[in-house]
């Protein structure tokens, strides 16, 4: 086999594994069983295959740059994901270009020029949508992956969490503490995360035999200010909520701020639950109970899947959900009626 330049296909065939496994054995050996890695290394020795040959054979004219479209670079939620993306990209010899779209589809479309001009090899979408106008998606789109917010497109890989199950877990924690009047502070109305987390909230109420009160479904936009406005909606309620479940931590921080300003004690008077476990969740007074997303791990997994897709043409998994964790701190406690 050494009479011609060996390819990754030659190595995979000889080792009896997939092309993706060969790529991971070379670039991310910790994720490959030791016995499998030894078979791959033996096949590499036998064929005379080299990493430089792989780089040439897998992706001619490769820029080894990945474009990441972020809806709001100032949102602390994305920081850990970006660190995870960058760590794996650097480990595998790639760099990142970060495009801040400011949640504006028109800005996202400008980044398409990077793809057309061949300046990047792949695309990470944290925006929850494709960067092309409706009906103009290219017949052969570049390698890409959606992260956190799943995009409905056949064959598009996704890495994130089960938002419905996570929201149900958060709501069940409040119900177990005796709360029956639980307000849900939503994110943007058209956002898939808003719908998924509201579904989880509703499912937990239904399982506990608690009727869903539409008056407790409060609008928000993931900002601290919308959390403040959510508390103001309590004014005039005959039965105000005894707990708030917020679709992200920033809104929960706004809820705590406004409840405190009004002289209400958290959690003695009103309990507050967040979602995400951003950096500042443990710094509120009291510290915020929340659902922790494994954000760095999400970034690492997403970059591994995308680079495997770029280098082999086949991702190891199209749809991967990582586990969450309920982090109980001081902002939730027993309802007054249950004490």
Find which of 94-103, 164-173, 301-310 is predicted with most confidence, using mean pLDDT: 164-173
What whole-number distance in Å separates Cα of residue 102 and Cα of residue 203?
33
Q: Which residues contact 135 (CB under 8 A, 6 or more apart)?
A: none
Would you say residue 208 has pLDDT above 80? Answer: yes
Domains in the chain, CATH or no CATH each: 8-51 (1.10.260.40), 63-161+295-323 (3.40.50.2300), 163-293+326-338 (3.40.50.2300)
The confidence score (pLDDT) of residue 318 equals 83
What whole-number distance in Å separates Cα of residue 70 and Cα of residue 101?
6
What whole-number distance in Å separates Cα of residue 270 and Cα of residue 219?
19
What whole-number distance in Å separates Cα of residue 35 and Cα of residue 202?
47
Beta bridge pairs of residue 245: 184, 273
Torsion 70-74-80-83 (CA) sign: positive
pTM: 0.80
- Comparing 319 with 134, the larger pLDDT belongs to 319
Judge contact between 338 and 178, C-beta under 8 A: yes
What whole-number distance in Å separates Cα of residue 300 and Cα of residue 88?
6
Task: Tell the residue number behind the tokens 């709360």, with chain if given.
Answer: 179
- Specify burial of residue 136 (Cβ count, 10 A radius: 0-12, 13-18, 19+): exposed
| Residue-wise pLDDT tens digits, 314-326 | 766 688 999 999 9
Judge contact between 145 and 156, C-beta under 8 A: yes
Would you say residue 54 has pLDDT above 70? Answer: no
What whole-number distance in Å separates Cα of residue 78 and Cα of residue 68?
11
Backbone phi, psi, residue 292, to 5°: -90, 120
| Residue-wise pLDDT tens digits, 252-280 | 999 999 999 999 999 999 999 999 999 99
- Comparing 20 with 275, the larger pLDDT belongs to 275
Would you say residue 210 has pLDDT above 90? Answer: yes
Judge contact between 262 and 279, C-beta under 8 A: no
Neighbours of 151 (CB within 10 A): 16
Would you say residue 57 has pLDDT above 60? Answer: no
Would you say residue 55 has pLDDT above 60? Answer: no
- Helical H runs in the chain? 8-15, 19-27, 34-47, 51-58, 77-91, 105-110, 112-116, 163-176, 192-207, 224-232, 249-261, 295-312
């Amino acid at each position: 086999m050494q009479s011609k330049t060996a390819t990754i296909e030659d190595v995979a065939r000889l080792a009896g594994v997939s092309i993706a496994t060969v790529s991971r054995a070379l670039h991310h050996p910790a994720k490959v069983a030791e016995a499998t890695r030894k078979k791959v290394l033996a096949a590499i020795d036998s064929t005379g295959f080299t990493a430089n040959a792989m780089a040439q054979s897998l992706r001619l004219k490769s820029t080894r740059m990945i474009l990441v479209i972020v809806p709001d670079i100032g949102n602390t939620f994305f920081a850990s994901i970006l660190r995870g993306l960058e760590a794996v990209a650097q480990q595998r010899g790639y760099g990142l270009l970060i495009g801040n779209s400011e949640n504006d589809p028109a800005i996202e479309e400008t980044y398409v020029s990077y793809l057309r001009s061949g300046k990047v090899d792949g695309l990470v979408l944290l925006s929850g949508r494709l960067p092309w106008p409706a009906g103009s998606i290219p017949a052969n789109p570049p390698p890409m992956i959606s992260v956190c917010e799943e995009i409905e497109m056949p064959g598009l890989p996704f890495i994130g969490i089960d938002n419905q199950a996570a929201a149900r877990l958060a709501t069940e924690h409040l119900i177990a503490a005796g709360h029956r009047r639980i307000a849900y502070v939503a994110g943007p109305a058209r956002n898939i995360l808003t719908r998924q987390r509201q579904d989880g909230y509703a499912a937990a109420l239904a399982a506990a035999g608690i009727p869903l009160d539409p008056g407790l479904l409060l609008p928000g936009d993931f900002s601290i200010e919308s959390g403040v406005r959510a508390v103001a909606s309590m004014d005039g309620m005959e039965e105000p909520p005894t707990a708030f479940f917020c679709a992200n931590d920033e809104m929960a921080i706004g809820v705590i701020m406004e409840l405190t300003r009004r002289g209400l004690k958290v959690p003695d008077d009103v309990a507050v639950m967040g979602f995400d476990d951003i950096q500042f969740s443990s710094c509120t007074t009291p510290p915020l109970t929340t659902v922790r997303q494994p954000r760095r791990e999400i970034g690492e997994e997403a970059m591994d899947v995308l680079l495997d897709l770029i280098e082999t043409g086949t991702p190891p998994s199209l749809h991967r959900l990582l586990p969450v964790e309920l982090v109980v701190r001081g902002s939730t406690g027993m309802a007054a009626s249950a004490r």
